[in-house]
Each structure stands twice: as C-alpha cells, then as structure tokens.
C-alpha cells in the first residue's frame, strides 16, 4: 500500500537523532578531557584530605596528597590544575605579606608538583584574598580597596609565582591595570613565555560562598566585593574589560561564574575570537551535587550537560570541580 506523503515533511530532523552514532556524527559541539582544568584546594600538613562541608566530594589537600591526585588527574588526560591555598589564620594580615613569600604554601606546592609531574600545567591565582585579614582581593584601608597599591603587590606575587614554576597566572583581583602591570613585570624579569588568563568578566556573585568556605575567608570578609567585581546587570562592561585586558597583554580570558553568564561567554568569543574560558564555580558545583546526592538528578547526565553548555556557548575550556569525574565519563 502506497503511503500518502503529502502530510509529511521532506526534511525530518529526527533522522539525525535516531541513534547515538548518528547523533555523535552531526554533533555541533564537543566536550573533551583536554578542555578541563581542575581547581584544587591545598593546605598545610601531611596526609591531609579534609572534606569541605559545603562542597560534597571536594577536599583540602596537603601537598603530598596534591601530588598523588594531580598525577591521577594527568593519567586521565587532564592537562592543567589550578591551585588555591587555604593558609593558617595567623598568616593572614592587612598588608598581605605572605602573598609575596617565596616559600609560602602555594609556591612550595607548585615547586614540588612541577618537580614530581613536570608535564602537568599549573595555573595559580594572582589575588590577595587567601592572605588578607579582611578577606578582600586587594589591600583594604578600612574604607575602600586601594587599587594602585594592590597592583604593585600583585605584580610581585606574579613574579614569585612564575619563578616557582607556574605556567599560567590568573589575575582574579578585578583591579584596574593589573594585567598590564603583571605583563610588564614578567617581561622585565625575563618571563616571556608565562601565560596570563585574565579574569576579565568576574561578577560579584553569591555563588562563590562555598569557595570562600574552602579558603576559610568567608567569616573574615569585611563588607562585600561590589566596588571591584562586576555588576551582574552588565554585559557591555564585560566587553570593555576584555578589550582592555587583551590590550594589556592577556593571552586568554575568563568569565566567572559560568552558567548564569553564558551570554557573556558567547559575546566575548564571537567578538574577540581569543581563547575563552569559564569557571563553573563552587556554588554551581554544590547545587548540582546537592541535587545528585538527593536523587533528584542523574549524576552522569547532569555533569555532562552542565559542562557541554560552556562548549556550546563558545568556551575553549572550563575550570570545574567535576574534572576527574567528567574525564572518567568522557572516557567511556
């Protein structure tokens, strides 16, 4: 019996969805292990693996465990880790002098990690909040954040981190002129190959709260960070910041947080065509993990979907606490 095809379209989109092989063949976006950067919190001590209560499955690691976990990540195909220090309270001061101690926790960890796993890329945060008694990313005089004084110490911090072996520096402070000051300082010291991933569009967000728990700075924070981090209402401002940072010598740019700002990722990538990254921050991670833990979401599909959206928005890479789990998922 001949079918009357007058009621059916000649183009049927479902033909391209009928099985996994065809779906993969015509997929417009790809998520690969090479796209992932794994943020890791480090702490003092030996054989420490301290759970972070607000981040299910994430730990503060002593350097010996950092090396073990980083080697494992590298074996999964993860090529870069981003390190963040949780230092002792007595080292947090108003002048943030521990930030420029060549033998501080983050620099020591970097030296050891690069010695033990030299092929692994190490990214370090250039900011003062882990070292600041006020919890701010810049020097605080009790009333305001001191921009120009802050970038002077950030430049010193960046040089010391480069000497420690950092491959990528991530200025996350959101001061004006930081990238240019750091780039000039690196060049003057002969660090011509050190990469800068500028936090060009870092928004003042509630989604950083678990991260601040991890660094033990949440209770220290005086006021808020709205005078230097971006207003969530703004999009054009992110474009201006990105343009400035690229002109000042940034090699890559970042949008932070991630999922609520995919429109910014898309605008930056399509406008500038430069390596664009996004940070799936602690609050994003904790919300997804909370839903997974309660049985409301399937773990594998939730992780995959939450990361694929960054690639679809144009991101070249993603900083995510899901990196090891995602690497295992992608290897199946």
Q: Is residue 103 part of a domain?
A: yes
pLDDT reading at 20 higher than 90: no
What integer pLDDT is reported at residue 201 of this predicted model?
Answer: 98
Give mean pLDDT, residues 149-170. Answer: 98
- pLDDT of 4: 62
Q: DSSP labels for 142-208?
A: SSSB-HHHHHHHHHHHHHHHHHHT-SEEEE-S--TTHHHHHHHHHHHTT--S-EEEEEEEEB--GGG
- The mean per-residue pLDDT over the stretch 149-176 comes to 98
- pLDDT at residue 2, as a whole number: 62
Which domain range does residue 155 map to? 30-253
pLDDT classification of 1: cutoffs 50, 70, 90: low
Summarize the confidence of residues 178-199 as an average pLDDT: 98
Instruction: Tell me how far CA of residue 101 lies from CA of 81, 147, 154, 271, 310, in angstroms.
Output: 22, 21, 12, 39, 36
Q: What percent of the chain has pLDDT over 90?
A: 89
pLDDT at residue 28 in the model: 82
Total count of domains within the chain: 1
pLDDT score, position 112: 98
Q: pLDDT, tens digit, for every residue of 61-114? A: 999 999 999 999 999 999 999 999 999 999 999 999 999 999 999 999 999 999
Q: Could you give the CA distance from residue 102 to residue 111 in angstroms, rounded to a whole number?
A: 10
In a domain, 190, yes or no: yes
> Is residue 316 one of the residues assigned to a domain?
no
- Domain membership of residue 301 (yes or no) is no
Provide the pLDDT for residue 26: 86
Distinct helix (H) and strand (E) counts, the chain: 11, 10
- Asked whether residue 3 is assigned to any structural domain, the reply reads no
pLDDT at 242: 98
The encoded tokens of residue 74 equal 């590298």
Q: What is the pLDDT of residues 60-72, one digit of tens each?
A: 999 999 999 999 9
Beta strands in 62-107 (DSSP E): 80-86
State residue 10's pLDDT score.
76
Q: Is 155 within a domain?
A: yes
**Does the predicted TM-score (pTM) go above 0.85?**
yes
% pLDDT > 70, the chain: 97
Q: Is 256 annotated in the active site?
A: yes
Distance of CA 156 to the CA centre of its chain: 22
- Is residue 284 one of the residues assigned to a domain? no
Extract the tokens encoding 12.
């049927």
User: Which one is catalytic: 202, 225, 269, 311?
Assistant: 202
pLDDT (0 to 100) of residue 95: 96
Q: Which of 37-51, 96-110, 214-228 has the lowest mean pLDDT?
A: 214-228
Q: State the pLDDT at residue 208.
A: 95
- Statement: residue 3 has pLDDT above 70: no
Q: CB burial class (10 A; 0-12, 13-18, 19+) of residue 317?
A: buried
Q: Please report which confidence band the pLDDT of residue 5 belongs to, taking 50, 70 and 90 as the band edges.
A: low
* Most distant CA pair in the chain, distance: 86
What local confidence, expressed as pLDDT, does residue 220 receive?
72
Catalytic site residue from 92, 111, 181, 256: 256
- Please compute the mean of the pLDDT values over residues 191-199 and round it to a whole number: 98
Nearest to 151 by CA among 173, 123, 132: 173
Q: What CATH number has the domain bearing residue 120?
A: 3.20.20.70
């Amino acid at each position: 019996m001949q079918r009357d095809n007058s009621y059916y379209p000649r183009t049927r989109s479902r033909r391209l969805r009928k099985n996994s092989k065809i779906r993969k063949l015509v997929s417009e976006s790809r998520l690969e292990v090479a796209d992932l950067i794994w943020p890791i919190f480090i702490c003092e001590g030996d054989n420490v693996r301290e759970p972070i209560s607000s981040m299910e499955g994430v730990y503060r690691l002593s350097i010996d465990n950092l090396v073990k976990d980083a080697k494992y990540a590298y074996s999964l195909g993860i090529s870069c880790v981003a390190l963040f220090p949780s230092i002792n309270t007595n080292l947090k001061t108003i002048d943030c002098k521990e930030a420029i101690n060549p033998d501080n926790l983050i620099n020591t960890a970097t030296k050891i990690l690069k010695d033990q796993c030299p092929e692994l890329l190490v990214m370090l945060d250039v900011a003062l909040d882990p070292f600041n008694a006020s919890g701010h990313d810049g020097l605080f005089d009790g009333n305001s954040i001191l921009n120009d004084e802050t970038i002077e110490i950030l430049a010193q911090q960046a040089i010391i981190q480069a000497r420690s072996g950092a491959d990528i520096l991530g200025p996350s402070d959101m001061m004006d002129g930081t990238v240019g000051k750091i780039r000039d300082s690196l060049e003057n010291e002969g660090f011509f190959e050190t990469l800068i991933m500028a936090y060009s569009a870092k928004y003042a967000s509630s989604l950083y709260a678990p991260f601040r728990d991890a660094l033990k700075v949440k209770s220290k924070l005086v006021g808020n960070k709205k005078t230097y981090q971006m207003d969530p209402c703004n999009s054009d401002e992110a474009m201006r910041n990105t343009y400035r940072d690229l002109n000042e010598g940034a090699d890559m740019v970042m949008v932070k947080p991630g999922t609520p700002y995919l429109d910014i990722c898309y605008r930056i990538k399509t406008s500038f065509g430069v390596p664009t990254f996004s940070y799936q921050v602690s609050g994003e991670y904790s919300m997804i993990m909370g839903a997974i833990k309660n049985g409301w979401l399937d773990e594998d599909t939730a992780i995959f979907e939450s990361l694929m959206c960054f690639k679809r928005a144009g991101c070249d890479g993603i900083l995510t606490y899901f990196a090891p789990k995602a690497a295992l998922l992608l290897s199946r």
